[in-house]
Structures are given as C-alpha cells and as structure tokens.
Amino acid sequence: MLGRRVVVTGLGMVSPLGIGVENTWQALIQGKSGVARITKFDPTGFDTQIAAEVKGFVPENFIDKREIKRMDIFIQYAMAASIMATEDSQLKITPQNADRVGVVVGAGLGGLTTIESFHKILMEKGPGRISPFFIPALIVNEAPGQISMRFGAKGPNSSVVTACATGNHNIGDAWRMIQRGDADAIISGGVEATITPLAVGGFNAMKALSTRNHEPEKASRPFDKDRDGFVIAEGCGIIILEELTHALNRRAKIYSEIIGYGLNGDAYHITAPSPDGEGAARCMAMALRSAGIQPEEVDYINAHGTSTYYNDIYETMAIKTVFQEHAKKLAVSSTKSMTGHLLGGAGGVETIFTVLTIFQGVIPPTINYETPDPECDLDYVPNVARKTEVRIALSNSFGFGGTNAVLAFKKFEQ
C-alpha cells in the first residue's frame, strides 16, 4: 500500500430499508426486506411488479423547496445522504480548506425519471414546455456538482459511471486522490433512482428481473437455488473519506480504514460476467495486492450477489479461485437480499454495510436462503446476522459491460 493512509469518518444513507444509516442498519441486521409492490407507477401489465423503493423520503427535510424542482430524485437522494454523512463526520468545509475537499459521486443511469416525464411533456405539449432545468436535473455529474455547491467544496469533482460498479469505482478513485495528495477529504459514493416504467420494462426485456410478484419480500434470494433474477432498487450511500492525519488532528470518529482497490474488465460480454468469474477473481486479487494483504487475512466479503443465476455462481467460483482453502472459512453475504439491487447506488450502500460490519462486529445475513444451490457452496451467513470480529473485509461490485470494482477495508489501528 503506497501513499497516505485514508480512513472513513462519516456515513450517510437513503435506502429501501430506511432514511439514515442507523434505521437502515437496524433493519438490515434484523433481516428485514425492503421489497414490495411498485408504487411509483402502475405496474399492471409488466412481468415484474415489485421493487425495493425508498419510503418516507421528504426532500424538504434536506433541500430548499425552490431547489427541489431543479433536481431529479437521484440528486435529491445524493444531497440528503451527503448532508447526513458530513453531519456524522462533523467535517467543516471553510474558505480556508475548500480546495482540499472534493466530491466524487456517480450514478449508473442518472435522471431517467426526469427524461421520461419531459418526454411525455414534449409529446403532449410540444418543445416550448420543456423546462430550462431539464438537462441540469438529469445529468449524472450534477450530483457532485450540487453537493459541492451546497458545501462549498472546491477540490476534485467528478462522476464515474460504470453501471452496477459505479459506487465502488467512485469511492476507489476518491481514495486514490487522497492517497496521492490531491485532497484531504472527499465526499464519495453512489446513487440511483430509476424505478420507472422504461427501466423496469427494459430489464424485463432482458429477463433480468425477478417475477416473484406474489412474494415480494422473498424475491431477492442470492445464492439460493430458486432465485429467478434481481430486484431493482433505489437509494444512495455516501461516505466521507479523509486522510488519516487530517482526521486525527480534528479528533474525528474513525469507522475503518480503506486499504485497497481493484478495478478491471472482463472483455467478454455486454451484460454477462466472464465464465468461471475470471474477471471478478482478477479484480479481487488486485484489491488484495493493492492492500498488501494475503487472502487468508480476509474475514468477510460483502458479495455483489445479485440473485441472478450466472452472477451468483461465477462470483462463488471467483472467490474459490482467489482464496483457495480459505474460501470455506470466509463469511460471504449479500445484503441485496434485503435492499434489492441499487444499480449505480449499490457500491455506496454496500460500502457502508461493509464498514459497519467491521465497526460493529456484526455480519448482516443473506436472507431468503432456503434451498442451497450445489454450485454455490460457501458460507453465505444464511438468514440470521452473525456477531463476530471482522478485521478485514472486501466489498464486491461488478457491472454490465464487464466492469469490476473491489474495495478492501480494515479495522482501524492507530
């Protein structure tokens, strides 16, 4: 591991399990599902009629009413989670340190809600009724743009868009920026809000979504033999990354240390993972090398675990390839069993879950694990959370286009 040490000092979240980190975490370790029938539009006629929606979000609690209409809901989620994370961190951004604080936040699909609503306006009322805020409300980099304006953060500002690996890539890139001295602190994570007719219809056309409409809470079942697709979800996870000395000097609370980052490509298929999880295995190995640790030092993996046939099998195979005999001793769980799949927001929320697993000493379960799949034969922490010390953990995220990102975290030691 080269460069400056980087720690996590703040957490903020909007999720299908609750508004705020504590509400979400308590629901998670209790094994609650955030999946239900879609309410954002009438899903009648769709093969999939279920999703993991954010419930009870009041944007006025975080954003001025005049600004709300200028932001797609994904930007609203990102803003709210960033406010919670900075408050948790107690990071003060002033004119004196503004250029040393950055914002690196991405989304997979961006403002699809805004695109669909204004397309309808265009078709029904003509181009003269399109709002001047249409474009700024939907483009992905307006999430970090709006956050930076809210806090006056003038350091690195960017958005990585890599489908379901988006959150991890943004956090990993932010880590490297701080490592090499480009910033002292960065607000970073991933967000998504695309439970829309077009998104659900598109994923249905790919046969990617679960159609277990009669049992929504049991639809997301990673590594279970009876899984039938992922459950689309929405929300945001934001963390505050900070250079260690900077954090210590202001006596910040430290949740964990980020120690490694792997990123690569399968070069195989536009949606399917490479056979045997070859790309995922190389990415995990890269994260371990980056962290300067051996496979047997890892205690837990927050799996990508989407509840799709090939992903779950190939991720299992990838873990076996990298960890060999130690794979059987690893705890591996998929929190998507409860949150659904947040697409570009997955890495953000799952990073927070991984950090809290280390900080709290509790591994969240994989719920709905009822019928073991012979090809998925690791310890998936079935159905019940497990209290145990976790010193080192990985968070896996793999996206369409064969893009992979793995983050490594460690229990903080002075």
User: Does 284 share its domain with 370?
Assistant: yes
User: Does 270 share its domain with 180?
Assistant: no
Q: Which residue, 218, 249, 280, sits at the end of a domain?
A: 249
Query: Quick check: is 101 in a domain?
Result: yes
CA distance 247 to 230: 38
Strand, helix or coil for residue 8: strand
CA distance 283 to 315: 11
User: Does 358 share its domain with 336?
Assistant: yes
User: Does 274 share its domain with 156?
Assistant: no
User: Does 213 share its domain with 320?
Assistant: no
User: Does 178 share its domain with 61?
Assistant: yes
Q: Measured in whole angstroms, how far is the alpha carbon of residue 146 from the centre of its chain?
A: 20
What confidence tens digit (pLDDT) does each residue in 222-260 have? 999 999 999 999 999 999 999 999 999 999 999 999 999
User: Does 174 share its domain with 138?
Assistant: yes
Query: Quick check: is 255 in a domain?
Result: no
Q: Are 228 and 73 in contact (CB under 8 A)?
A: no
In 3D space, the residue among 236, 183, 222, 248 whose CA is nearest the CA of residue 351 turns out to be 236
User: Does 299 share its domain with 231?
Assistant: no
Q: What is the pTM of this model?
A: 0.97
Query: Quick check: is 256 in a domain?
Result: no
What confidence tens digit (pLDDT) does each residue in 73-132 have? 999 999 999 999 999 999 999 999 999 999 999 999 999 999 999 999 999 999 999 999
What confidence tens digit (pLDDT) does each residue in 346-387 have? 999 999 999 999 999 999 999 999 999 999 999 999 999 999
Q: Which residue, 179, 214, 249, sits at the end of a domain?
A: 249
Output the average pLDDT for the chain.
Answer: 97
Return the axis-axis angle of helices 73-89 and 142-151, rounded to nearest 10°.
40
Q: Quick one: pLDDT band at residue 1, thresholds 50, 70, 90?
A: very low
Q: Quick one: pLDDT band at residue 2, thresholds 50, 70, 90?
A: low
Strand, helix or coil for residue 13: strand
Residue 278 has pLDDT above 90, yes or no: yes
The domain containing residue 60 runs over which residues?
A: 7-249
Q: Are 257 and 9 in contact (CB under 8 A)?
A: no
Q: Are 47 and 211 in contact (CB under 8 A)?
A: yes
- Rounded to whole angstroms, what are the CA distances from 156 to 78, 145, 358, 395? 17, 11, 28, 24
Query: Quick check: is 31 in a domain?
Result: yes
Residues 6+ apart with CB under 8 A from 4: 178, 179, 180, 181, 243, 244, 245
What confidence tens digit (pLDDT) does each residue in 318-355 have? 999 999 999 999 999 999 999 999 999 999 999 999 99
Query: Quick check: is 192 in a domain?
Result: yes
The residue type of 244 is: L
**Two tokens at 167?**
């959150």
CA distance 172 to 131: 35
Query: Quick check: is 2 in a domain?
Result: no
SS3 content of the chain, % helix, strand, coil (to 5): 40, 20, 40
Q: What is the DSSP string of 367-413?
A: TT--SB-TT--SB--BSS-EE---SEEEEEEEETTTEEEEEEEE---
Strand, helix or coil for residue 303: coil
Partners of 190 in the β-ladder = 106, 237
CA distance 90 to 70: 28
Residue 166 has pLDDT above 80, yes or no: yes
Q: Which residue, 225, 249, 273, sits at the end of a domain?
A: 249
What confidence tens digit (pLDDT) does each residue in 40-63 have? 999 999 999 999 999 999 999 999
What confidence tens digit (pLDDT) does each residue in 178-206 have? 999 999 999 999 999 999 999 999 999 99
CATH of the domain at 286: 3.40.47.10
Residues 6+ apart with CB under 8 A from 141: 157, 158, 159
Give the active site residues. Answer: 164, 304, 341
User: Does 233 share its domain with 292?
Assistant: no
Burial class of residue 42, CB neighbours in 10 A (0-12, 13-18, 19+): exposed
Terminal CA-CA length for the chain: 16
CA distance 362 to 126: 55
CA distance 252 to 148: 21
CA distance 194 to 270: 20
**Structural domain count, the chain:** 2
Query: What percent of the chain has pLDDT above 70?
Result: 100
User: Does 372 share its domain with 309?
Assistant: yes
Query: Quick check: is 300 in a domain?
Result: yes
Contacts 24+ apart (CB under 8 A), 127-134: 133/69, 133/70
User: Does 272 share its domain with 306?
Assistant: yes
In 3D space, the residue among 309, 333, 335 whose CA is nearest the CA of residue 229 turns out to be 309
Strand, helix or coil for residue 143: helix
Query: Quick check: is 1 in a domain?
Result: no
In 3D space, the residue among 186, 248, 237 whose CA is nearest the CA of residue 414 turns out to be 248
CA distance 164 to 103: 19
User: Does 267 share its domain with 238?
Assistant: no
